[in-house]
Amino acid sequence: MTDYDRVGGPEGQARAGFVALIGEPNAGKSTLLNRMVGAKVSIVTHKVQTTRTRIRGVAMEGATQIVFVDTPGLFRPRRRLDRAMVAAAWGGAADADLVVLLVEAHRGLTDGVQAIIDSLADRAGDHPVALAINKIDRVKAEVLLALSAKLNEAYPFTQTFMISAEKGHGVTDLRTWLAETLPNGPWMYPEDQIADLPLRMIAAEMTREKLTLRLHQELPYQLTVETESWEERKDGSVKIDQIVYVARDGHKGILLGHKGETMKGVSQASRLELEEFLDRRVHLFVQVKVRPGWLDEAERYAEMGLDFKDGA
């Protein structure tokens, strides 16, 4: 099921396994992951298609270790990067022990959700698939009940949960069910580990989130952030050098802003969040470089945890 060695866990009573969160872009998968884990391990913005890699967050529920796979949103791909993201999402579902489909309550059974449901039988295999109707605070109870009935008619979901990932409503019930349903087995990670992403990648994701929040339209999808170096200092602080790659000269000017103010604001916000996450002082230095063909470079895809060949 996984290339990770199982470690730890109380003998004879432990459970552990992978749970894939799938759904349309902006359905709330990253928010749910962060709520379940209790820390920010996935990029959360108002922009769609912001999660590019299958970010694993680790949550403990009693003697069960739940390893969440937060997949990129499933959508109709147009570019190589889009195709690689969609392949990563379905790959995450195929590799998981359990699958949770998130559907936005106020949007209902959209064409995109229907397309995901149509693919579930082939993609999810024999894995149990739960339905989580998210953002329940946006609609009335009768609408929720009608939507639940309609979705369960479209696919034989193992369980249905009504949740608000942002406010936490119903999340405990979902986490309890996941913990009870995952297979018996020793834990895969140390008890205090919340993610299996390298810190370098988490740092890059935090900076990319801040850029995504500050920018508009297509530009957030035309850039990537890489952590070039990570230097541990004797005083306990860390020096982080990052590069933001953009495809055009005009994009660089937008990122920098007037007298570099936009990039200064992004760097400061990212540094403060990194300091809170790492619980130590951070010296963050971010450069912007123009790299016209980065969307077609295998190395850039590897940095994002995507398979370049999947985008072909």
Q: What CATH number does the domain containing 222 carry?
A: 3.30.300.20
pLDDT range class, residue 249, cuts 50, 70, 90: confident
Q: Is the pLDDT of residue 241 over 70?
A: yes
Mean pLDDT is highest, among 157-161, 186-190, 271-275, 279-283, for: 157-161
Domain count, the chain: 2
- Of 12, 121, 134, 151, which is closest to residue 73 (Cα–Cα)? 134
Domain containing residue 147: CATH number: 3.40.50.300
d(CA 305, CA 299): 10
Average pLDDT, integer, range 63-86 = 61
Tell me, yes or no, whether 172 and 222 share the same domain: no
Check: CB of residue 310 under 8 Å from CB of residue 83.
yes
Average pLDDT, integer, range 175-179 = 94
DSSP letter for each residue of 1-49: --SSPP----TTT-EEEEEEEEESTTSSHHHHHHHHHTS--S---SSSS
Query: Is there a domain that residue 46 lies in?
Result: yes
Q: Is the dihedral of CA 94, 192, 30, 202 positive or negative?
A: negative
Look up the domain containing 142 and give its range: 15-181
Query: Is there a domain that residue 261 lies in?
Result: yes
